[in-house]
Structure 1
């Protein structure tokens, strides 16, 4: 979870935008998420993460999938991201 703390340094505005996007993902997943909407999410994730690290955009893989909740084994949507990091930027 330290990686998540690393990315929490973003401005509260970016945090709120990302939070709202993820809420929309959960709502739209039940009605089959459109490729256009997934591309919008992908663009937002790239923009926010790129403020802190240099990434390999060609190796980036973001997709929606389903997983099972540990507590009751119910299926739930999941956003899975494989983001190759090339270099961590030095921000002071």
Structure 2
């Protein structure tokens, strides 16, 4: 463990590079193109908007990995702020 890292708020370039490499590997393993991810995002928003009002300015949809199963598998993470639920 790096002691300097614990007491510093500085983000190291090696950590940024490592995160970028992980993202590239996730996209390659999941075989998702950016266009495909946008189509998924659009479909998710369309379905959720039937049931809730969505704040469209702060929506984030990304791919990551999960170690929940054997090995690491791709996971889709969506952060969609909801204004209110439709009744």
TM-score class, shorter: 0.5 to 0.7
Matched, 1:54 2:53: yes
Distance 1:55 1:76 in 2: 29
Could you list the runs of 4 or more consecutive aligned residues of structure 1 that deviate by over 6 angstroms after TM superposition?
none
Paired residues, number: 61
Normalised to the residue count of structure 1, the TM-score between the two structures is 0.60
Distance 1:49 1:76, change over 3 A: same
How far is the alpha carbon of 1:67 from its aligned partner?
1.4
Change in CA separation of 1:68 and 1:31 when aligned onto 2, cut-off 3 Å: closer
- Would the alpha carbon gap of residues 79 and 29 (structure 1) be closer, same or farther in structure 2, given more than 3 Å must change? farther
Deviations 1:64-91 (A, max 9, x none): 111111x54x20100001110001101x
Distance between the aligned counterparts of 1:31 and 1:76, measured in 2? Answer: 8
Q: Which residue of 1 aligns with 2:37?
A: 38
SS for the counterpart of 1:46 is helix
Compared CA separation, residues 85 and 58, structure 1 to 2 (3 A)? same
User: How far did residue 30 of structure 1 move?
Assistant: 2.1
Q: Which ranges of structure 1 fall in alignment gaps of 5 or more residues? A: 1-27
Give the aligned CA root-mean-square deviation in angstroms: 1.8
Tell me the equivalent position of 1:89: 86
Q: Which runs of 5+ in 2 are unaligned?
A: 1-26
> Bigger radius of gyration, 1 or 2?
2
